[in-house]
Amino acid sequence: MQFLDRARIVVKGGDGGNGVTAFRREKFVPRGGPSGGDGGRGGSVFMEATDQLNTLLQFRFNPEFRAERGAHGEGSNKHGRDGEDITILVPVGTLVTNADTGELIHDFATIGDRLNIAPGGRGGRGNAQFATSTNRAPRYHEDGRLGAIRHLQMELKLIADVGLVGFPNAGKSTLISRISAAKPKIADYPFTTLVPNLGVVSYGEASDYKTYVVADIPGLIEGAHEGVGLGLDFLRHVERNKLLLHLVDVSSTERDPVEDFTTIQHELASYNPALLEKPQIVVASKLDALDEPERVARLRTFCEAQGLEMLEISSATGLGIKELIFKLGQRLEELQQANKALEVAATADFQETQSVGNR
């Protein structure tokens, strides 16, 4: 399946039905009076976030969505039927902006987020609604209102617990295939991965089954924040990850591991300085192809000086994989507990402020 993380669509709410001008014509009821019914409300277009999608590919083939218009009113005070609403499902992590103004409309960050993106038009009133004591036979009605029409730009930023970053061919795809059921393309040349891949990793005991989601972000290179390589196409997907796993190839290549690490860090900071504030674990990969142990030692010394945790693995042989899986799960649990503590503290502060204000 292709991956698409940008799409432009048009949504239109249904037009309201028109009211009608009608009069009662019944036997034995002379001058029966106005009986024109109201038009029905036009259907609305809703958007809702779901975890059953991870791409915007569907919008490439279906870029226009129109809700049903309301039915017109009829005589005998019969109101028109309301138009049917429609719901557009989008992946969690989708940002919707006004394509004409660039204004952010909504960030669908959680499952079940729902928004009326294009309200339907109100139905027009029939002439029965205009009858008064001084105007008993109005000969006019109201047309329905037009439904809202909007041009939308959608941008998907994948939401995952762990984001794999690093140079092309650093072993990210091999790692995600080893720790999850994901089957990315793997080859011995750069830029093998052209789209992000998601994998679900399970850890813990059988009686305490736990999982987390890992995102394999296509390889970054120097100048990525300016669009070099796959640059701007996929840097946005790093923003939503809770924890970054920085893979550094320590096998006998021409590149220096420390320089590789600092280059990617510079690209992340240049794109969004907040990315460097995310928790991060450094992983020395491809230990099975290591001929110069001092490459690992140099990287470890650098990480210790920077206060970064470092692990050593080989996805090919399985060295350090179990420890890595457990460590990631442990760090994510710690982050979750820390966030809960902050929420509790914030709630307590708010309640205390409210209490003081009520005195």
Return the CATH number at 63: 2.70.210.12
The answer on 146 and 198 residing in a single domain is no
Q: Is residue 358 part of a domain?
A: no
Q: Is residue 183 part of a domain?
A: yes
Of 156, 181, 208, the one marking the end of a domain is 156
Q: Is residue 51 part of a domain?
A: yes
What distance in Å separates the CA atoms of residue 307 and residue 284, rounded to the nearest whole number?
16
Report whether 90 contacts 56 (CB < 8 A): yes
* Length of the chain counted residue by residue: 359
With the C-alpha atoms ordered 217, 218, 219, 223, is the resulting torsion angle positive or negative?
Answer: negative
Q: Is residue 1 part of a domain?
A: no
The answer on 286 and 177 residing in a single domain is yes
The CATH number assigned to the domain holding 303 equals 3.40.50.300
The whole-number pLDDT of residue 342 equals: 81
* Structural domains counted in the chain: 2
Q: How many CB atoms lie within 10 A of CB 330?
A: 11
The answer on 181 and 86 residing in a single domain is no
The answer on 152 and 172 residing in a single domain is no
Whole-prediction pTM: 0.69
What distance in Å separates the CA atoms of residue 341 and residue 167, rounded to the nearest whole number?
36
Token pair of 169 as six digits: 């061919």
64-66: strand order across its sheet: 64-66, 6-12, 149-156, 94-98, 104-108
Alpha helices in 35-106 (DSSP H): 58-61
Report whether 36 contacts 123 (CB < 8 A): no
Report whether 136 contacts 121 (CB < 8 A): no
What distance in Å separates the CA atoms of residue 55 and residue 91, rounded to the nearest whole number?
7
The answer on 200 and 112 residing in a single domain is no
Q: How many CB atoms lie within 10 A of CB 84?
A: 14
Q: Is residue 245 part of a domain?
A: yes
Q: Is residue 219 part of a domain?
A: yes
CB-based contacts of 133, cutoff 8 Å, min separation 6: none
The answer on 229 and 178 residing in a single domain is yes
Which residue range is the domain that position 334 belongs to? 162-340
SS (H, E, C) 29-50: ECCCCECCCCCCCCCCEEEEEE
Q: Is residue 349 part of a domain?
A: no
The whole-number pLDDT of residue 298 equals: 93
Per-10-residue mean pLDDT of the chain, 359 residues long, equals: 76 97 81 90 96 85 94 94 96 92 92 95 95 91 96 87 87 88 59 66 74 80 53 70 91 83 89 89 91 90 94 92 92 88 77 68
Helix (H) or strand (E) holding 341: helix 321-358
The whole-number pLDDT of residue 233 equals: 59
Helix (H) or strand (E) holding 267: helix 257-271
